[in-house]
Amino acid sequence: MCGIGGIINLSGKSVTEMEISSMRDVLIHRGPDDDGVFCNGRIGFAHRRLSIFDLSSAGHQPMFSDCSRYVIVYNGEIYNWPEVRRELRFRNWKSKTDTETVLQAFAERGPACLSLFNGMFGIAIWDFKENCLFLARDRVGIKPLIYGLHQGRLYFASEAKAMFAAGFPMERNEVALFDFLRWGATDHDQNTYFHDIFHVKPGHWMSVADDGWITSDCYWDLAEIVKARQTVSRQDAIRSFDELFRDAVRLCGRSDVPIGCFLSSGVDSTILASVMADEGLSDFSVFTYDFDSGGDGESAGAAEVANLLNVSHEVVTLRSSQVPSLFDQMLWFQEAPVTSIRVIAQFALYKRARDLGRIVQLDGQGGDQVGGGFEYYWMATVLDTLESEGYDAGLRQAQAFLEMYRVPKEQYFPRLIGLLSSVLTPGVCTQDGVPFVKPELLGKGFREAHLERLRSCPRPFRSHYLNAQIIDLMNHNLPRVLRYTDRNGMAWGCEPRPPLLDHRLIELGFCSSADSRTFGTEQRHYMRQVARNILPESILNRPKRSIVDPQRKWLKDELRSWVRDTANSSLLASSGIYDMRALNEELDTFFSIEGTPPTAFHILQMINVSKWLEKTQSPDFFSKQSYSNSKNSAAG
């Protein structure tokens, strides 16, 4: 896991070592163990290294191929690098690193080498013979890779701040802000929150020739894979998941540094920790975040699992008083809005993991998207049933889900409409169907400037259920979660690894029959069946409940003055993004609600925008000095 950056001057003029060094220096948090730069005329590469495999200097980057034709900077991990080496002709290995494996695989097979890799990556390779740049990103975008063109130069990096440090202009992208405020969408397409900076698409590679011509190709298309394969039966899905998940955990457990596991009280992380123990991954610790809110949060259930597995358990408890300062510190690393104070708790949790030397952290991300576990997916299954079996069957199924989720009868209609909205326009409601987007709060000019921008999501399947899953996996829910995790982990020099996003498990989940994913009213059925062979019934059959999240209460009560002060920002008022009168009236209504408000997402949206405007107003915000100040403040 590392930080990378580079510049290709397409006009042929030289790139300076000072520019490349500035990219390297501002990414120090992503790689505290080693650093390197390479400048050769019109190209320059920068690298920061977090050492995971082969901790010696043999893993130094930029790294040159044995034939001297290629040079690479690379961020990520290829878990199966020993197996990949056996597929190659090359034998003159100088290190035990995945970086050298990637480089020599490309030297032999070109872009086709990407199909060999099981892992997460952002890759940049310069070809001295063809004078072209090769960029590639892993299948679902676990690792970041962005690029932009400015004045005849192509810049690329792991984070935008590296591009700014080298002279790329920092200009806000209001289209991305509109999508966030109007559609609840973030990290959903190639746009970033900065003008003319774009994500390399997950599952794609691109080549930039010396004349500036860009070629791009998709090397992993999940929809086409699903359409080409036979449907996997329920029993075969259960058996295959057991085998593949264990293998994914074994691969992700490979490391030359200590490992840990992020453990909530949910099924995904619980089965992950259990399989880690069952597969003999020794001496790992588990980490849980919780909230000082007086409720029954994650830590109690996680402690039960930790005691069962006899592993060390660390809990980091977030207090409401910490939120304002941690939010500011975290924003430097994230560079974009977040959607929950849980991201702040995760930020603090990674710091604790690093303090204890647990540099690699396995987590359970992806289970809901891959296994079909989000609550609103049941509406998608009902729509499929209505089309295939008719009204009566659909009505019975909807009734069964409403009863299973214990929805009061007076709430049936609002819940059904909310869940239907979640399926048709992902991002405007919570996963249990509570609407939170409030476009009426936006400024008239800002809203009208983007009025015709409708958010469309690809729907490649006939099944509403599969479409909901692939939208969450590639365009809605997962991309933002992956950004949160990458930035929060790398902020403290930690490497997050998600075994459930092994591409073999993703393909299995999407190719499995509908009753494999939802059997009766049990969602993620094939995953839960495997868990039943590992976990005791007392843990697996805990009563279904919503995890206590104090965001709504804290923003209404404990953090009220912070919310009001943030809303009164002169930058926010002058931006035209909000109708300030409507916003303040909404805050008055929100603060006057008795008890806990049904949602506070739109309030957190406002906080994100106000703080982001404030930070990006300063040209020094993403500087190395700003990083040092943020790091020291967070450490204190």
| 203 and 282 together in one domain | no
- Which residue range(s) make up the domain with 44? 2-220
Angle at 83 between CA 80 and CA 89, to 5 degrees: 130
Of 488, 522, 545, at which residue does a domain stop?
Answer: 545
Q: What pLDDT shows up at residue 628? A: 59
Q: What pLDDT shows up at residue 455? A: 73
Cβ-contact 276, 311 below 8 angstroms: no
- How far apart CA 193 and CA 322 sit, in angstroms, is 26
Q: Is the pLDDT of residue 7 over 90?
A: yes
Cβ-contact 418, 429 below 8 angstroms: yes
- How far apart CA 622 and CA 629 sit, in angstroms, is 11
| 343 and 478 together in one domain | yes
Report the pLDDT averaged over residues 505-516: 97
Report the pLDDT averaged over residues 607-619: 89
Of 185, 203, 220, at which residue does a domain stop?
Answer: 220
Percent of the chain with pLDDT over 70: 95
In 3-state terms, what secondary structure has residue 214? strand
Q: What pLDDT shows up at residue 283? A: 83
For the chain, the average pLDDT equals: 92
Angle at 302 between CA 301 and CA 306, to 5 degrees: 125
Cβ-contact 181, 337 below 8 angstroms: no
pLDDT band for position 69 (cuts 50, 70, 90): very high
In 3-state terms, what secondary structure has residue 86? helix
Q: Which of 236-240, 289-293, 629-633 has the lowest mean pLDDT?
A: 629-633
| 153 and 227 together in one domain | no
| 164 and 230 together in one domain | no
Report the pLDDT averaged over residues 154-179: 96
Percent of the chain with pLDDT over 90: 83
Cβ-contact 177, 193 below 8 angstroms: yes
- How far apart CA 484 and CA 288 sit, in angstroms, is 16
Pairing of strands 2-9, 34-40: unpaired
| 137 and 254 together in one domain | no
Cβ-contact 536, 402 below 8 angstroms: no
Residue ranges of alpha helices (H) inside 205-279 are 222-228, 234-252, 267-278
Q: Which of 22-36, 228-242, 453-467 has the lowest mean pLDDT?
A: 453-467
- How far apart CA 526 and CA 107 sit, in angstroms, is 40
Q: Where residue 266 sits, what CATH number does that domain have?
A: 3.40.50.620
Pairing of strands 360-362, 259-262: parallel
| 235 and 172 together in one domain | no
**Residue carrying the six token digits 């200590």:** 258
**Residue carrying the six token digits 């303040």:** 584
- Per the structure, the count of domains in the chain is 2
| 159 and 178 together in one domain | yes
| 212 and 248 together in one domain | no
pTM of the model: 0.95
How far apart, in Å, do the first and last CA atoms of the chain sit?
A: 26
| 425 and 521 together in one domain | yes
Of 177, 195, 220, at which residue does a domain stop?
Answer: 220
SS3 for 461-497 is CCCHHHHHHHHHHHCCHHHHHHHHHHHHHHHCCCEEE
Q: Which of 86, 90, 78 is nearest to 52 (CA)?
A: 78
| 156 and 239 together in one domain | no
- In this structure, what are the phi and psi dihedrals at residue 489, rounded to the nearest 5 degrees? -70, -45
- 628 CB contacts (<8 Å, ≥6 apart)? none
- Under DSSP, the state recorded for 110 is G
Report the pLDDT averaged over residues 160-183: 95
**Residue carrying the six token digits 């997050």:** 496
- The residue type of 72 is I
Q: Is residue 610 part of a domain?
A: no
Q: Is residue 539 part of a domain?
A: yes
Cα dihedral 477, 479, 480, 484 sign = positive
Q: Is residue 137 part of a domain?
A: yes
Q: What pLDDT shows up at residue 636? A: 45
Q: Is residue 621 part of a domain?
A: no
Q: Which of 147, 254, 141 is nearest to 198 (CA)?
A: 147
> Residue length, the chain?
636
Is cis: bond before 62, omega within 30 of 0?
Answer: yes
- How far apart CA 19 and CA 16 sit, in angstroms, is 5
Report the pLDDT averaged over residues 232-252: 97
Q: What pLDDT shows up at residue 547? A: 52
Q: Is residue 605 part of a domain?
A: no
User: What distances in angstroms separate CA 48 from CA 43, 168, 494, one per listed residue?
Assistant: 17, 20, 13
User: What distances in angstroms separate CA 162 from CA 43, 206, 317, one per listed residue?
Assistant: 16, 20, 32
Q: What pLDDT shows up at residue 625? A: 57
- How far apart CA 255 and CA 415 sit, in angstroms, is 46
Q: Is the pLDDT of residue 323 over 90?
A: yes
pLDDT digits (tens, 9 = 90+) for 555-572: 999 999 999 999 999 999
- How far apart CA 564 and CA 409 sit, in angstroms, is 36
Q: Where residue 66 sits, what CATH number does that domain have?
A: 3.60.20.10
| 96 and 137 together in one domain | yes
Neighbours of 67 (CB within 10 A): 11
